[in-house]
A and B are shown apart, each in its own frame.
Chain A
Amino acid sequence: MKNRLKVLRAERDWSQADLADHLNVSRQAVNAIETGKYDPSLPLAFKIGRLFGQSIEDIFDDEFQSPESD
């Protein structure tokens, strides 16, 4: 799953550790999400959305294509 976490973090000039502090998770968790090694749980995804004032869909892209769009 692709995401814009790194971009959003850079816009605020936050380090991974800063973002981890805001989300109350480890820096490793932030790194794993940014590098696509881990998809956050739904509660964490909502937390990220609230923190950046955006919807989950605006931050995460599950690359799902509906049959109609083919």
Chain B
Amino acid sequence: MSNRSKSFAGLFYGKNTIHVMNFIFVIMLLGGAAMLADNSFGEVKPLSAIANPLTSAVILILAVPVISYLVALGSNVDRHCAEDYSFQLMANAALVALATMVFFSLIGKLDFLLELIGLREIQANDLVGITLMSWAISFFYFQRKGLK
């Protein structure tokens, strides 16, 4: 066994990677559902008289896998129609965009930091803009730098 595979960092290499990723993604799945449920019971303004926290939470939690499945079907079409190189550029850039969006989302929760650097509140529309910008920048970055 190499030194790298014995170390903590070694957990993330080679054959261990998929087990670690499975664990992380299960946590993300449960954490995401918990956040949706928690938000539904929080101080969110109802848009309809029939809206209630429980149905909102259930609808949102069920909608995510359904929409994800539809997007996955669309992405399969992309994968078959687009050439592999373009698809790889797009997919790698999307991963960076997602991580950037999560980063800005977390920063947006830190009021003291926003005040410190003189930044206004980060809203949902900002996150969409950040994601699109980051996706585009990363796409051109990977095109220039390569995918390796």
Contacts and interface: CB of A to CB of B under 8 A. Distances in A.
B86 interface: yes
A5 to B, nearest CB: 13
A30 to B, nearest CB: 9
Contacts of A52: none
A44 B88 CA distance: 13
Interface of B: 83-86, 88, 143, 145-148
A37 B147 contact: yes
B41 to A, nearest CB: 46
6 contacts: A24-B83, A26-B85, A28-B143, A29-B86, A32-B85, A36-B148
A49 interface: no
B80 to A, nearest CB: 11
A38 B86 contact: no
A43 B148 CA distance: 18
Main secondary structure of the interface of A (DSSP, over half): loop
Of A26, A36, A37, A39, which is in contact with the most chain B CB atoms at under 10 Å from its CB? A37
Given A25-B84, A37-B148, 4 more contacts: A25-B83, A28-B143, A35-B146, A39-B148
Contacts of B146: 32, 35-38
A70 to B, nearest CB: 15
Interface string A13-38: 00000000000111011001001111
A28 B83 CA distance: 11
Contacts of A35: 146
B143 A41 contact: no
A24 B82 CA distance: 11
